[in-house]
Chain A
Amino acid sequence: NAGVTQTPKFRILKIGQSMTLQCAQDMNHNYMYWYRQDPGMGLKLIYYSVGAGITDKGEVPNGYNVSRSTTEDFPLRLELAAPSQTSVYFCASSYSIYSGAAKNIQYFGAGTRLSVL
């Protein structure tokens, strides 16, 4: 079982270019998340989704867009890349239940390291 799969692992963009970071999960989780991690900082939530067709902004959504057409996939789109978007991006998923030990444990992909030059 693959869990959460992110592609690509590394990417270098020029300022103004666009790209899509792919994220897929095979655990049938209804919740999915995108985070960015800057050096020495914690993970900041960019966007999240509580199910197919439903997305919402997190702490740092500017410059990004998402879509969720299926339960499995949650791509993150950068339309006009800027140097401030140089970061490591993590996708996560969870099946949130409010009882038992499984409450809101998020499972993460290995990350995409993005440099914008």
Chain B
Amino acid sequence: DQQVKQNSPSLSVQEGRISILNCDYTNSMFDYFLWYKKYPAEGPTFLISISSIKDKNEDGRFTVFLNKSAKHLSLHIVPSQPGDSAVYFCAASARETSGSRLTFGEGTQLTVNP
């Protein structure tokens, strides 16, 4: 039962253009969503998050959009840079969950071409 799903295993964009990474979830109890970035041979690092009471959160070049009715969130990177090439994981948590556990998607490999 995959509660958080990233349907695109990979995405390739040109430098300077917009990257849009998508994530869908099924559990209506999720109330907090996070994006992590992972480089090879490193652990995931936190990128940006959004609470379910908001529909948008922006941090520099990164913006996360949440559509609760569609149970869908997306990460926009504008403009994309070669250093953004990494695997991006979507994750979700529910307030009532013991230990504030996160459920992760499968990840999307983003490649930004110079």
Instruction: Give the residues in chain A near B70, CB-CB below 8 Å.
Output: none
* B: number of interface residues (CB 8 Å): 26
Given known pairs A40-B9, A110-B41, the reply for A48 and B106 (CB within 8 Å) is no
- Complex interface residues of chain B between 84 and 114 (CB less than 8 A to chain A): 89, 93, 95, 98-102, 104-107
A-B pairs, top 9 by smallest CB distance, nearest first, are A108-B43, A42-B104, A96-B100, A104-B100, A43-B104, A42-B106, A48-B99, A50-B99, A108-B44
Residue contact B99 to A31, C-beta cutoff 8 Å: yes
A-B contacts, 26 of them at CB < 8 A, read: A4-B43, A31-B100, A33-B101, A40-B9, A41-B106, A42-B6, A42-B105, A43-B102, A45-B101, A45-B102, A48-B99, A48-B101, A96-B99, A96-B100, A98-B95, A101-B49, A104-B34, A104-B102, A105-B34, A107-B46, A108-B36, A108-B43, A109-B43, A110-B41, A110-B42, A111-B42
Q: Which residue of chain A lies nearest to B89 when distances are taken between CB atoms in the complex?
A: A42
> Tally of A-B residue pairs with Cβ under 8 A?
66
* Nearest CB of B to A41, in Å: 6
Residue contact A105 to B41, C-beta cutoff 8 Å: no
Residue contact B43 to A56, C-beta cutoff 8 Å: no
Question: Footprint of A on B, CB under 8 Å?
Answer: 4, 6, 9, 32, 34, 36, 41-46, 49, 51, 89, 93, 95, 98-102, 104-107
Q: 1/0 per residue A23-53: CB within 8 Å of B?
A: 0000000010101000011111100111000
Question: Footprint of B on A, CB under 8 Å?
Answer: 4, 31, 33, 35, 40-45, 48-50, 56, 58, 90, 92, 94, 96, 98, 101, 103-111
